[in-house]
Structure 1
Amino acid sequence: MEIDDKSRDAYLSKEIPVQPGAYSFTELAVHRDLIERNLRDAIPLVLTDVDERRNVVVIGLDETANISIADVISKMARLGVPPEAVVFERMPIPQAAIDMSPDPKLPTSTLLPQLTDYVRPLAGGLKIDRNGGCTLGIPVWYGNPGNQTRGFLTASHCTGFVGYNNGSQWGQPLLSNAIGVEFEDPPLTNCGSGYCDLTDAALIDLNSAHDNSSMALPGHVYLTDFSSSTGPGGYAVTGETLPLGVQSPFMGLDVNKVGVRTGWTTGEITGTCVTTYVVVRHPDGVQRLTRLPCYIRATTPVNSGDSGSALFRIVYDPDPDGGNFLGILSACSGCNPDVTSQTGDGFYVSWSAISQAMNQHITMVEDQGIE
């Protein structure tokens, strides 16, 4: 297994810098809220973020829109937002990272199975199928302590409809290799000027009567033959899995994801509470622009088909020795479903948002209850 030196070296040597800031987090959050509430329909807004590392509000504007930054600054000034508290980015409109093609075209190996092959036991990173390709995020335990069963997390939009349990059937790698049924999918929220998807994540029940789905490793993801921070990484399943706990994100944290379209990729967290907008299918079957509030943004290269991938941190000692789960991939910015080598940043719904939205008690290690 070849590990991206940037990821391992950064973990072993990283120090936490402390810098002075001109604004408090609360002040920046107020500025962002003013911009979102008052200018959402007046400017081509794609993303907003309170960047605590740079001590500014980041405003993402549609890179194809013909609008001057000076005009946007003027509008913000009328709201009382100081220009020096804002940084602008021209960027593509994010899109849901689902691949509806029959099967991603990946490099093949004659020695090891690929993420798109039939692989048991089940762990994070494998291809799952519902008449469209997505990624198994991470197997979990769910239910009351002392009486839990196995399931897994993936992206809600992969189920066909966001925020709605339509009983979607799942297989690995193909639907014919049935492994489970959609069990819980937290509903959308009306956020005043449209709909918010607070939790683009769904819980799938792993039914042991199906195709060896009881052979699942809760809290584990597969590591592949190599990782990359600049583009697609390895797809070959070496058999090594990484056990994960859970944690919250912070700026600059070195992170990983394993997905069926771009394999094992590495990067860092560049936003801990980013708001962006994507077009997804609602329960009534209509595709609508939907707000994703307070998601994690990370530079892990992703592309369509990686939806559902787990975002996780690795502990190196000096090799991978465990880690923590942070979230599930929802959308990508700058990716191109028609070009395998073209990748972009990922937007992930956080573990804290998932655990708060689900009615089920979800754990990475079986909760036996109090004895």
Structure 2
Amino acid sequence: MEGAMGPKLLLTSVVAIALTLATAAMAQQSQAPAAPSAAVTTFDDKLVKIGEQAPGFGGMYFDEKGALQVYMKNAAELRSADAMKAARSQVTSAIAGVLGAEFLTQNAAAKGRAQEPNIIKGDYDVLELAKWKKSFGAALDGQEIVFVDLDERRNRVTIGVVGDPSRQRFEALAKSLGVPFEALIIEETPPIRFHASLRDKSRPVPGGVQIEIDTGVFAYKLCTLGFNVVRNGRDGFITNSHCTKNRGVSNDDDFHQPNDPLLSGNKIGDEDADPPYFTGGQCPSGRKCRFSDSAYADYRIDRGRFEIARTTNNVGSLTINSFPGVFRIMSETPDSMVGMRLNKVGRTTGWAFGDVRATCIDVNVADTDVRLLCQSSVARVSGTNKLTDNGDSGSPVFSILPTASQASLHGILWGGPDDGSSFVFSPMSMIEQELGPLTTFTAQQPPPPPPPPPTPREQCLRECNAERDACLADGGLGSQCIPAWRRCREQCPAQ
């Protein structure tokens, strides 16, 4: 076995190199398309809408007790009880109108009972902060800039930098942009990287387990299956775009669970949708951008349930619990809030948890020309285990509902710093604006629309894969079947 699978086993230990090679291959492709014409609504846009309906609104967060704290720029002027009551009513109505009435109940101590926000003094309103973030987002680039954030937790614009966060580096830039330096928080931050690539075969397939993606002959990536979905009436699952052979391009890649020994029968699906990266618009010069690191694959076996694998504990266990062995997804949370406690399950570090530290941050991914817009980050709780590592890419991110075996889906993890102290994920709102509506839990099931017909290229690639699989199943040698498969793919049309 060692002789036959040597190249493949060796690649596991150098998966970071494999990702570097994939990045190089992408650089040789045609230029990224222009910015999408359809407007994408980010969480910052929703905060601005609240600010337009409640003048002076400066951001909000859940504190350590789960209480909602709301910044108001004019809080000092609310001297009478009636004025404070009117302001609280106005901002509560605005929050419910933009984020939904359920937002005010999700972290409340009494289940289903809306909590009144506590108004605290803010120095700036979100309209100002959003404008300043946009100014800095276009002006700041280079590998030393990790992220730019409208920081609703601290009523500031926060800029994460690698190395020296000294005042001198940014004071002149702030002045040239017309931004008060006091409105900025400059903090040293480790680089955020794509994570490279529970490990036994699981049928039906739940979210959180290991998957293997073919990227060439004897080449592959190990990642984590995010969650099962119904998309355009078809059964499939979501993982990271950077886990595929070429991110931002649908190549009909083969997915296997947990791995792909020859003639194992472990194939579970084919890549079907991986939206392209774009340039221009919100994407600064020299970068290519997306709003989520997500790709969709069609199942070639029966779809797994809307569930996430549950391990024996939340401090890094990889062993699936005997009962209950899953978290059942019962709802989606489109956008998370600072202070929320979130969980993730991944093939490398298992089940771990942390608290939302920032939302809608624009992240420059280390060692690439990629900027991911409006992402969220989760920080480790002091004294707990490593949150994430290579191979956890694609992990489902979720909150646990009052019924402990039930979950609300928040998004998909794609990376973090090397020390595993935090992770970054794409929120559900961004994933579904790029991939379209997804059914992720049973209560959602709408009558499915008719599936779109495959493109000529998609149909050709599927036929090539079917011929290869039939060749191997009939006892053909890899040295015969694989070259024929490659020639078949080369003859497929470009579109």
TM-score (norm 1): 0.79
User: How far has the Cα of 1:70 moved from its partner?
Assistant: 2.0
Alignment partner of 1:364 is 2:441: yes
SS of 1:132's partner is strand
Which residue matches 1:224? Answer: 311
- 1:31 match: 132
CA distance in 2, matches of 1:234, 1:290: 32
Residues in 1 aligned to 2:183 and 2:376: alpha-carbon distance in whole angstroms = 21
* Aligned residue type for 1:91: T
The letter for the 2-side match of 1:189 is: F
Q: What is the one-letter code of the residue matched to 1:39?
A: L
Distance 2:161 2:237 in 1: 35
Structure 1 gap segments, 5+ residues each: 1-9, 100-114, 209-213, 281-287, 336-341
> Contact conserved, 2:229 with 2:438, CA < 8 A, in 1?
no
In 1, Cα distance between the equivalents of 2:175 and 2:205?
A: 53
Note if 1:75 corresponds to 2:173.
yes
How high is the TM-score relative to the length of structure 2? Answer: 0.60
In the other structure, the counterpart of 1:98 is 196
Name the larger-Rg structure.
Answer: 2
Match of 1:353 in 2: 430
Equivalent in the alignment of 1:14: 66
% identical equivalent positions:
29
Q: What is the Cα deviation at residue 203 of structure 1?
A: 0.6
Aligned-pair CA distance for 1:88: 1.4
Of residues 296, 300, 310, the one that matches 1:207 is 300
How much has 1:192 moved relative to structure 2? 4.4
- Contact 1:169–1:175 (8 Å) recurs in 2: no
Structure 1 residue aligned with 2:257: 172
Residue deviations 1:89-130, cap 9 Å, x none? 11221110113xxxxxxxxxxxxxxx1111222111100001
User: Which residue does the alignment assign to 1:49?
Assistant: 149
Q: Does structure 1 residue 297 correspond to structure 2 residue 377?
A: yes
Q: How far apart in 2 are the matches of 1:363 and 1:263?
A: 21
Flag the 1:254–1:67 CA change in 2: closer, same or farther, 3 A: closer
- The amino acid across from 1:315 in the alignment is L
CA distance in 1, matches of 2:400, 2:207: 14
1:160-215 deviation per Cα after TM superposition (whole angstroms, max 9, x unaligned):
2211101110111102411111011111111241210222101111112xxxxx16
Assess if the C-alpha contact under 8 Å between 1:11 and 1:254 holds in 2. Answer: no
Which residue of 1 is the match for residue 160 of structure 2?
60
1: CA distance, partners of 2:446 / 2:165: 57
The answer (yes or no) to whether the contact 1:57–1:85 under 8 Å persists in 2 is yes
Structure 1 residue 345, shift from structure 2 partner: 1.3
Cα offset, 1:14, TM superposition:
2.6
Which AA in structure 2 matches 1:302?
A: T
Bigger relative contact order (CA 8 A; separation at least 6):
1
Equivalent residues of 1:11, 1:316 under 8 A apart: no
Looking at structure 1, the residues matched to 251 and 427 of structure 2 have their Cα atoms a distance apart, in angstroms, of 23
Q: 1:197 to 1:12 in 2, by over 3 A?
A: closer
Q: Secondary structure at the match of 1:183?
A: strand
**CA offsets 1:216-245 (integer angstroms, 9 cap, x no match):** 11x2111111113xxxx1111115211221
* Contact 1:12/1:316 (<8 A) preserved: no
Q: Does the Cα contact within 8 Å between 2:326 and 2:405 map onto a contact in 1?
A: no
Equivalent residue pairs, number = 313
Shift in Å at residue 132 of structure 1? Answer: 1.5
Runs of 4+ aligned structure 1 residues displaced above 3 Å come to 10-13, 359-363
